[in-house]
Amino acid sequence: MATVPALEKPPVVVVEAPVEAPKKGILSYWRLYAAISPFYLLFLAFGLIPVGFSLYVSFHRWDGLGSMEWAGLSQYQYLLSDSDFWGSVGNTIVIWALATFPMIFLALVTAVMLNSAVRFKNLYRFAYFLPNVTSVVAVAIIFGSVFSTNFGLVNALLQAVGLDQVAWLNTPWGIKVSIATLMTWQWTGYNAIIFLAGLQTIPSDLYEAARMDGAGPVQTFFRITLPLMRPVLLFVLVVSTVTGLQSFSEPQILLQTTANESTFSGGPDHAGRTMVLYFFQQTFDNNDFGYGAAVAWGIFLVVVLFSIINWRLVQRRREE
Amino acid sequence: MRLSRRGLLHAGLAGTAATALGGLTSGCAVPYGSSGRNMVLWYWSGGLSDTVVKKATARYGSAVDLKPIQIGGYYRSKLITTMTGRSHVPDIAGLKGEDMASYLPNAGQFVDLRTLGAEKLKGQYLDWKWQQGIAEDGSMVGFPIDCGPVVHYYQAAVYEKAGLAYEPDDVSREMDTWEKFFAAGEQLKKRVPGAFLLVDASAVFENSVGQSTKRYVDKDRNFIGDEEHIRTAWDRAVEAKRRGLVSSIVNGTPDFNAATEKGLLPTQLGASWAAGDLKLGLPKTKGQWRVAAMPGGAANNGGSFLSITKACREPEQAFEIIGWILNADNQAQGFVDAGLFPSTPASYEMKKLREPDPFFGDQITMDVFGPAAEKIPVSFNSPFDVALGQPIKDEIKNVGVLGKDPRKAWSDAMSKCRRIAKHLGVTY
């Protein structure tokens, strides 16, 4: 890297006459502020105000149409004792864990493979990225038939090797595994591309030096690649936490049954009811907008908690 | 073109101005219908016959500018958001039957159709359906579009193979009670290996509840989901499971379609509109199906309404349009176009509804649907029904699918209902 020339110190000038006061302070930059303001105005109108309103609604009883009725903290009190809400938090975390750890592993392997010399590199990168830009709804519909009990692909494979059928979409663990598999499939390629970008920032002379010292590929991976990839790994973990905690369409479409039934109940024993799905059910199925808003803030707090945990992990690593 | 710094600043300014202006206009907009000339009608895809809507636009074109808009996505939430926002509220709004209970407590946001002379038309519509559009204070919010009489769809060849009655009249007569229906199911299971009478236990439970005149919460906000009528439906569903009459297939999945095509799920208890789903989802089974009366009596599932919102400045005109769109002739057209089962008994005799249906082996299905529609019991739908019915429905699903102990499931459902009732201010 080229070295940056040190800045020359400005010569000290002694000013005798009083300097003209700066024109109007902040106001003199009004054009610049105006130029960047559209985003902030839009954010205020469509982001911040609705967020504030949802906080306001969470202190009320409201069916969405009629008048609001002050409810104080009662929605939050109910939230704390609501086993359904906590169940949905548990489901979300379990599904997230089932999806994320295999996903990170697969993505890392894929990235390392892509990073080594292969032909048609760009084609592979494109192919791995493709699942991520496919509509979740379409993917979930396909996965619905892949996991169906009697005529699904997964069970056909199981039977081909002499195993029993599994009622994937009809048993609590089957549901969780199916949703997690869908999410893994969708995100592996995306994260592989990010890992690949990270791999390419590692200077190749490090590898050369390692090879000269007689390190094998496994040693190189654990001693050089992995430590230098830590920031990228953490980024991937944070992003997958954010997306994983918001999972909604996957279980909704995968467990969708008939028009009569609620599509937000998450299948037998609510096994696939994630936090956001529960929020949706309370708000739009039950028309309980006040409680729905409280659930949304509950979700917010769970996400904050997870962010703090992530952040602490980063901090500790830095101190090491 | 290269963008200069000045140009960029100007572009930014223009953007800001546009944003600010946009905010202003949406902030103090006048309702759409205020000019008197415009009349906006909101409905959803398949909610009304497109042919009829088009004809209405032409017919009333000289008086008003009727703008029918099909709203996609989650209809109800879009409608209430617009109504709560108090701008661009449609003059005429479709209300889905399953949402009706939640609109009625807010009758004040709609024009009372009685004030526009609705009473004069009352005789032409199914009485129970008419009653469902009326709020507690007696004002009429919804004008009946369609209804959904539940019937017994079955594959005749499979029934014949099982040695059961297979002509519609015979089936209606010989399986007129749940007990006889279940006995037939046992015979079916014995004679046709791998076949099940019903896809899941919920099909028994929900249709049984529909046959009652009561649901989960009564008019005085009391929870009645623990009473005899729900208990009967529950026990009936549990019995179907115990006798091995329900499959472990998830309704609506590819599995379900495959099993139905193979004749392993030859029966469906469904509303009139389910005929459309059968035709669309299982085209290969054309000609194999028949329609018979539902065991244990009629029930309703679905069916919608039209309403006039308070934003409408020309309610008389709007009412005239509604009355025309939903008259017996046009309701018959709605059935032909979109499978909307008429709420006007006069339509049932019309020639175009008495055509033999090739999908149902040239049966004249109206002979079953019509009488079913007229016999549907009136039940009170509470805005709290959804929240307090769900735990019971969820638990019957657990019994059916996971084999949960029915007694445990019932007590779990009840304790959950008690908790939710307390939260919602419903007396348990």
State the average pLDDT over residues B306-313.
95
Measure in Å the smallest separation between the Cα of A149 and chain B Cα atoms.
7
pTM: 0.84
Task: Provide the pLDDT for residue B28.
Answer: 36
Quote the CA–CA distance of B118 and B140 in Å, as a whole number. Answer: 8
pLDDT per residue over A225-282, tens digit each?
A: 888 888 898 888 888 888 899 899 888 888 876 545 667 888 888 999 999 999 999 9
Flag whether pLDDT at B186 surpasses 50: yes
Measure in Å the smallest separation between the Cα of A118 and chain B Cα atoms.
39
Interchain contact, B401 vs A256, CB within 8 Å: no
Supply the ipTM of this predicted assembly.
0.83
Residues paired with residue B289 on neighbouring β-strands, in sequence order: B155
Interchain contact, B254 vs A152, CB within 8 Å: yes
Measure in Å the smallest separation between the Cα of A178 and chain B Cα atoms.
15
pLDDT per residue over B43-102, tens digit each?
A: 998 899 999 999 999 999 888 999 999 998 889 989 998 998 888 999 999 999 988 999
Measure in Å the smallest separation between the Cα of A222 and chain B Cα atoms.
45
Quote the CA–CA distance of B293 and A311 in Å, as a whole number. Answer: 63
Point out the residue among B84, B251, B253 whose CB comes nearest to the CB of A64.
B84
Q: Does A87 touch chain B (CB under 8 A)?
A: no
Task: Provide the pLDDT for residue B26.
Answer: 39
pLDDT band for A319, please (50, 70, 90 cuts): low
Which residues from chain A sit within 8 angstroms of residue B77, using beta carbons? 64, 284
Contact (Cβ atoms closer than 8 angstroms) between residue B141 and residue B110: yes
Interchain contact, B202 vs A261, CB within 8 Å: yes
Question: Which of A55-59, A203-207, B248-252 bottoms out in mean pLDDT, i.e. has the lowest?
Answer: B248-252
Tell me, what amino acid is at A241?
T
Interchain contact, B423 vs A171, CB within 8 Å: no
Quote the mean pLDDT of chain B.
89
Q: Does A54 touch chain B (CB under 8 A)?
A: no
Structure tokens at B205: 């439970």
Which residues from chain B sit within 8 angstroms of residue A260, using beta carbons? 206, 301
Task: Provide the pLDDT for residue A123.
Answer: 87
Interface of A with B in 231-290 (CB under 8 A): 256-258, 260-262, 265, 268-270, 281, 284-288
Flag whether pLDDT at A115 surpasses 80: yes
Q: How far apart are the first and last CA of chain A?
A: 27
Point out the residue among B255, B393, B401 whose CB comes nearest to the CB of A148.
B255
Quote the CA–CA distance of B246 and B130 in Å, as a whole number. Answer: 35
| Helix B50-59 vs helix B315-325: crossing angle, to nearest 10 | 140
Q: Does A28 touch chain B (CB under 8 A)?
A: no
Measure in Å the smallest separation between the Cα of B176 and chain A Cα atoms.
24
